[in-house]
Amino acid sequence: MYKKKPFFIIFEGVEGCGKSFQSKKLYRKLKKKNIDTILTREPGGTKSAELIRNLILKDYFNKSKKDKFDKYTDTLLYLAARNEHIKTKIQPALKKNKVVICDRFIDSTIAYQVYGKKVKINFINNIHKVILNGLKPNLTFILKVSSKSSKQRLIKRKNKNRYDNFPKSFYERAQKSFLRLAKNKKNYYVLNSSNNDNLCEKQIFKITQKYLKF
């Protein structure tokens, strides 16, 4: 029988890996089991954090490079959105013993800002010490996808965002970064999400079931 407890689940991966799709699938399955669950995303998740998200996206589509945010300004905006998200949504939900499913979290910052944009990791770590205040995910799913499957999914996507337009090489670098972050970590699961079947969905549910013990 399921014992109510706070539990924090993260979905990570490059664009077109299916993390938003799979996080929604897991959310619906847990709700069907009457497990008190919320689904959220980063950047965003709260009204104020969504405003910051829109600011970041708007900046990306600026045609003039001179008007674009510096990479550290960009990173600070992501971290500001995360601070709002944690304080007003994630932590209150966990305090109420809810399961929190989040589409992207700190690993995306490391993969994209550190490995991708060469932002200094100590800069991010020092801010994280304050805003995370010891908060750690209980379970992280890294969805690994082939460039072919990712591309096909992005073509079909109606609402595109800033990261849907990056070159193939960027996604390849980012995926390697996610795999590096998952290496030798017990609560990380790397799953192949390239095929359009329900195998990945079943694996995610089985692993979650094992952790939540229901």
H or E, element range at 74: helix 71-85
Quickly state the pLDDT bin for 14 (edges 50, 70, 90).
confident
Cα-trace Rg, the chain: 17
Angle between helix 47-60 and helix 71-85 axes, rounded to 10 deg? 160
Give Cα separations from 117 to 74, 112, 120, 170, 183 (angstroms): 10, 6, 9, 10, 22
Compare 144 and 204 and report the one with higher pLDDT: 204
Q: What is d(CA 21, CA 169) in angstroms, rounded to the nearest whole number?
A: 24
The arrangement of secondary structure in 7-212, i.e. its CATH architecture, is 3-Layer(aba) Sandwich (3.40)
> Which pLDDT tens digit goes with each residue over 143-165?
988 766 655 655 565 555 555 45
> Which pLDDT tens digit goes with each residue over 85-98?
999 999 999 999 99
In the chain, the amino acid numbered 32 is K
Entry pTM = 0.89
